[in-house]
Amino acid sequence: MRPQRLLITGAAGRLGSHLRQGLKPHVAAMRLSDIAPMAPAGVGEEVVSCDLADKPAVGRLVAGCDAVVHLGGIPNEQPFERIVEANIKGVVHLYEAARRHGVRRLVYASSNHVVGFHRQGEVLGTDCERRPDGFYGLSKSFGEDVARLYFDRWGIESACLRIGSCVAQPSDRRMLHTWLSHRDLNELVRCCLAAPSLGFRILWGVSAHRDPWWRDEAAASLGFHPADSSEPHRERLERLPPLDASDPARLYQGGAFVKMGPFEDGW
């Protein structure tokens, strides 16, 4: 399918700004949303400020769109009170608005932190046990369940992308296994939007690596074949001093997220 009007939430963020440019040739029009400031609308674009915790505002945001790429929300580990507004309420508001306005396809930015407490070196399929490494990972696991519910009950198709480390280039040893290039992110999302049939899928958002932690045949079935790899960066990254062997960030796939918090906020 080729979306006539694609909504991108979190469009001011690091990933949203890349997808704003990368997906533009593949859609007729874009509606771009965030609570942070964004670049002015270009040709074929609308820019709309929206708080995902505001249910009526989310309903207005979704109206008139036929597909959604949902990146909006808190993008890192935070106290639960902050996570719940954007990442828990926000994803329910978005799917409910999609149901009411007849949107049939969403691409949901999940995270590798849904499985962060699996050991490094363990090779995981998309059907592995979920082991969130904090409130952020827990919220993304919840979002995957929301997507499953709305597919099973109302037939709204979703791809839940367990995104790895999506940065310009890998910057530490862990990213030899978790890096997702911007180019591969754009192509993965494009494949999800273009597929004639999507259903409900969980996909790993990762480039091609020599020693992968994540195994994903489903993405290839959509036509996604990563163009980039961490291998050209290996020599540089392996010169970096390794973390202590007992450091949880070296033991578990979630890296530093597994030791963030607790946050002293009155609990």
Q: Which sequence positions are flagged as catalytic?
A: 136
In DSSP terms, 179 is beta-bridged to 165
CA proximity to 201, closest of 185, 186, 189: 189
Distance CA 79, CA 41 (A): 33
Specify whether the CB–CB gap between 179 and 187 falls below 8 A: no
Pairing of strands 5-9, 29-34: parallel
Please report how many Cα atoms fall inside a 13 Å half-sphere around the Cα of residue 43, on the Cβ side. 1
> Cβ neighbours of residue 35 under 8 Å, at least 6 residues apart?
49, 50, 51
3-class SS of residue 103: coil
CA gap 89, 84 in Å, rounded: 6
Q: What angle do CA 3, 6, 11 make, to 5 degrees?
A: 150
CA distance 170 to 177: 9
Find all residues with CB under 8 Å of 232, minimum gap 6, and list them: none
**How far is Cα 74 from Cα 71, in angstroms, rounded to an integer?**
9
The terminus-to-terminus CA distance of the chain in angstroms comes to 48
Residue that the structure tokens 């040709």 belong to: 43
